[in-house]
Amino acid sequence: MSEIISHGGFRVGSGRKKLEPTKVIRVPESRILEIKDYLNKPKNEAEISNIRQIDPVTYLEIPLAVERVQAGFPSPAQDYIDQKVDLNEHLIKNANATFIVKVDSLSMLNIGIDINDELIVDRSLEAKHRDVIIACIDNELTVKRLMLEGDNHWLKAENPNFPDIHFNEGQIIEIWGVVTRVIKSFR
């Protein structure tokens, strides 16, 4: 007669603790060590400075003037305000995928992006040819114009004093998001 061996079954204290629901995520095999290193970093160590998540709960209405402002020859202006605008609705399409990053370079000066300007970046948008993007290259963030021409891809600086970024074979670029707005301070 053969003996039946039973494995498993319920044992007190065994198995996964059910503290909260878990979820399986997929990551590229080439990034596993980098992700493990990131997860093991001390929590007080700053990963990237000057990046802020948008708070979609804030609600602020600002008056919207009906008349447009002339940039050339002045014309009589109307002091008439017809409606109000919520800046979240006006500036942000997808609040959960939007963040603000502060610029620390003059590489995009010729399109009006200067040091200390704040960029509104939407991670939910698919980057297209000539979009201004935030990219991570070799663990460094940069803001550049994405150029896609056939099989040739590069990041274009909008200042002749800065080089364009052409990729080496095997080099990985991670697009963090598409710049949708620039916030400038004049004072």
pLDDT computed for residue 154 by the predictor: 92
Cα(52)–Cα(119) distance, integer angstroms? 10
Give me the mean pLDDT over the 168-180 stretch.
87
What is the token pair recorded at 134? 């935030």
170 vs 62: CA distance, rounded Å: 48
* Extended beta strands in 2-139, E state: 51-53, 61-65, 81-86, 98-102, 118-122, 132-137
Q: In the block, which residue shows the tokens 């297209």? A: 128
DSSP tally for the chain: helices H, then strands E: 2, 10
Active site residues: 107, 144
Q: Give the pLDDT score at 178.
A: 96
- Based on the number of CB atoms within 10 Å of its own CB, is 106 exposed (0-12), middle (13-18) or buried (19 or more)? middle
Confidence of residue 79 (pLDDT cuts 50, 70, 90): low
Instruction: Tell me which architecture the domain covering 36-55+96-183 has in CATH.
Output: Ribbon (2.10)
Strand, coil or helix: 31: helix
CA distance 147 to 130: 5
Do you know the residue count of the chain? 187
Q: Full-prediction pTM beyond 0.75?
A: no
Residues 35-66: tens digit of each pLDDT: 777 677 665 443 344 666 666 666 656 666 55
Where are the domains positioned within the chain?
36-55+96-183
